[in-house]
Structure 1
Amino acid sequence: MIVRLHDARFAYQDGPPVLDGVSLALPEGRATALLGRNGGGKTTLLRLLSGGLRPTAGRLLLRGEPVSYDRAGLTRLRTTVQLVVQDPDDQLFAASVEQDVSFGPMNLGLPEDAVRARVDEALQALDITGLRDRPTHLLSYGQRKRAAIAGAVAMRPSVLVLDEPTAGLDPHGQERLLDLLGRLRDGGTTVVMATHDVDLALRWADDAAVLAPDGLRTGPAARLLTDQGLLDAARLRRPWGAAVSAVLRAHGLLAEGDPGPRTAEDLARWLPAAT
């Protein structure tokens, strides 16, 4: 496991515990969807994984070694794990896209040619090379989202953690972002996404982590997101794909244990093959 949060507890000052006894392990090269009700602790959990917050109990392990929260330990963690926050305006601060994306690599003390190579690579990965010199305040919302992710990608993290990355994007923008995250995963990057969208989680993620009142449940997305008791406890609705698969099985059109369609497009492709 690249990153493992073990038996973590966290409470904000003068407040009740937000997380208590939470454990989460992130294997290499897999996509994990983090789901739960509003105020359930998703953002707090992401910040614990990335070192923005320190657990009040428990520990964070990086490649099997406990993370130290001094300068050297946090630098080691943040070169491995990068967090992209929900609102890109909380992350972008430089005058131009290129300046913003280059900030992280420059802070690593890399030579100029290495910084330039990382910036070029990140801009190309996010398909925003043409925005290199664009002032960040003139970007559209979707462009700002991609620029913020490019800044994280330029650090070449092993783990990319994103808080509600599809929020505020139109359907086309969501699909472009999911394609990008799929390419990063295929290239070996571990991707963690907090989302409220159970349909997106079911079709995109390998694994799911669901925050419920009795703790964090983890497992394969296809299994966990069909557990109606867990979904009810976490105040999540049943995914469309799970509901359709249940109907197909009830009518003898889908064998028990066989994966069903996860999207309307899957269903359209599946129907001719099933008839």
Structure 2
Amino acid sequence: MSEPALVALREASFSYEDGPPVLSGLDFEVRRGRTLALLGRNGSGKTTLMRLLSGGLRPDTGELTLRGRPVAYDRKGLTRLRTTVQLVVQDPDDQLFAASVAQDVSFGPLNLGLPDAEVRARVDEALTALDIGHLADRPTHLLSYGQRKRTAIAGAVAMRPEVLVLDEPTAGLDPDGRERLLTTLGGLCEGGTTVVMATHDVDLALLWADDAALLTPDGVSTGPAAAMLARTDLLHRAGLRLPWGVVVERLLRARGLLAAGDDGPRTPEELAALARTVPPPPGPARTADTPRD
């Protein structure tokens, strides 16, 4: 018998007051140890889905389960959920409020009623994981945008969740900040945290995720990222384009430049490395004296 999903929505529907349904009859699950990219057009319900997973919203119909058991929306049930699932919103300024980085990161563990020594240990652990230990005493209003993003994630990590749900975590970051954050998330995954990332970036999803979930007006479709992000029908319904890596891989295969069974390049750097291994096309070598047409 397979292990139940860490957290799952079953036949879940939700609508905001006096509004149309945002999600209807949705089945969605998060499996341990699988990085998951959640994609869809603006207004498709990604943020609503994430808030349902973390207990910030309650389904109108259907249920949220934790390790196969329905979540109770009382203090005990929500505490159990929020020590397992943590949501980090897109704008860190919506999440940070304490005077300093360490104070902000300590908020969640303190609310659990943990001893001071345990709180300090968790704060140190989270700051180290996000590579911001040197910012512990820095006022939050003096942080750069990338530092605020890391601090918000550290606050969630300090709760030691099994599932970390991130809403557009790379939005607004420069390329270096993005790469550093992805490296950090890789370390968290290796440490046993299951990460769910909502993003519009299909190239990032193909590069980073094990699985991809595409939200369309017909519902959600989930599967291995490489297969899902090559589905032009689903991508069209989700308001997304084909990833760069999928287009390049198809071109290379059509030209016979990629061996059967080999993965295609996912980044320009990987394409450049592949190009260095491909022999030049047959034909007379051109020299500086060769006349041009």
TM-score, normalised via structure 2 length? 0.92
1:129 corresponds, among 124, 127, 133, to: 133
Q: 1:99 aligns with which of 82, 98, 103?
A: 103
Mapped to 1, the partners of 2:236 and 2:212 lie a distance apart of 15
The one-letter code sitting in structure 2 at the alignment partner of 1:12 is Y
Secondary structure of the structure 2 residue equivalent to 1:209: strand
The DSSP-based 3-state class of the residue aligned with 1:236 is coil
2:234 corresponds, among 212, 230, 236, to 230
Aligned to 1:17: 21
Q: Match for 2:187 among 177, 183, 187? A: 183
Name whichever structure is richer in helix by fraction.
1
| Map of 1:5 onto structure 2 | 9
2:76 is matched with 72
1:84 to 62, 81, 88: 88
Give the alignment partner of residue 248 of structure 1, picking from 249, 252, 261.
Answer: 252
Cα distance in 1, alignment partners of residues 239 and 267 from structure 2: 22
Code of the aligned partner of 1:260: G
Of 31, 35, 42 in structure 2, the residue corresponding to residue 31 of structure 1 is: 35
> How far apart, in 1, do the equivalents of 2:259 and 2:63 lie?
43
Query: After superposition, what is the alpha-carbon deviation per residue over 1:156-198, rounded to whole angstroms, capped at 9, x for unaligned?
Result: 0000000011111111111111111111111111100000000
Stretches of structure 2 that go unaligned for 5 or more consecutive residues are 280-293
Query: 1:252, CA displacement in angstroms?
Result: 1.4
- 1:111-136: CA deviations, max 9, x gaps? 11100000000000001011000110
In 2: Cα distance, 1:166 partner to 1:10 partner: 27
Identity within the alignment, %: 72
How far residue 258 of structure 1 moved from its aligned partner, in angstroms, is 3.4
Q: Is the 8 A contact 1:85 1:163 kept in 2?
A: yes
Counterpart position of 1:272: 276
Structure 1 position 102, deviation (Å): 0.4
Whether 1:160 and 2:159 are equivalent positions in the alignment is: no
Count of matched residue positions in the alignment of Structure 1 and Structure 2: 275
Give 1 or 2 for the bigger CA radius of gyration. Answer: 2
Deviation at 1:237, TM superposition (A): 1.0
Q: Secondary structure at the match of 1:74?
A: helix
Q: Distance in 2 between matches of 1:139 and 1:246?
A: 43
- 8 Å CA contact 1:30–1:189 kept in 2: the answer is no
Query: Which structure 2 residues correspond to residues 176-215 of structure 1 after superposition, within 5 A?
Result: 176-215=180-219
| Paired amino acid for 1:129 | G
* CA distance in structure 1 between the partners assigned to 2:255 and 2:191 by the alignment: 40
- What is the rounded CA distance, in whole Å, between the counterparts of 1:256 and 1:38 in structure 2? 37
C-alpha offsets along residues 55-78 of structure 1, whole Å, 9 cap, x if unaligned?
111111101110000110000000
Q: 2:142 aligns with which of 138, 148, 151?
A: 138
3-state secondary structure, aligned to 2:276: helix
In structure 1, runs of 5+ residues without a counterpart are none
Q: Please tell me the residue identity of whatever aligns with 2:109.
A: P
Match of 1:219 in 2: 223
Which of 27, 38, 54 aligns to 1:50? It is 54
**Partner Cα separation in structure 1 for residue 241 and residue 159 of structure 2:** 36
Query: In the aligned structure 1, how far is the partner of 2:234 from the partner of 2:56?
Result: 29
Give the superposition deviation at 1:269.
Answer: 2.4
Q: Distance in 2 between matches of 1:82 and 1:137?
A: 23
Give, in angstroms, the shift of residue 255 of structure 1.
4.0
**Partner Cα distance (1:133, 1:35) in 2:** 36
Structure 1 residue ranges (4+ consecutive) displaced by more than 4 angstroms after TM superposition: none
Letter in 1 for 2:155: G
AA at the equivalent of 1:145: K
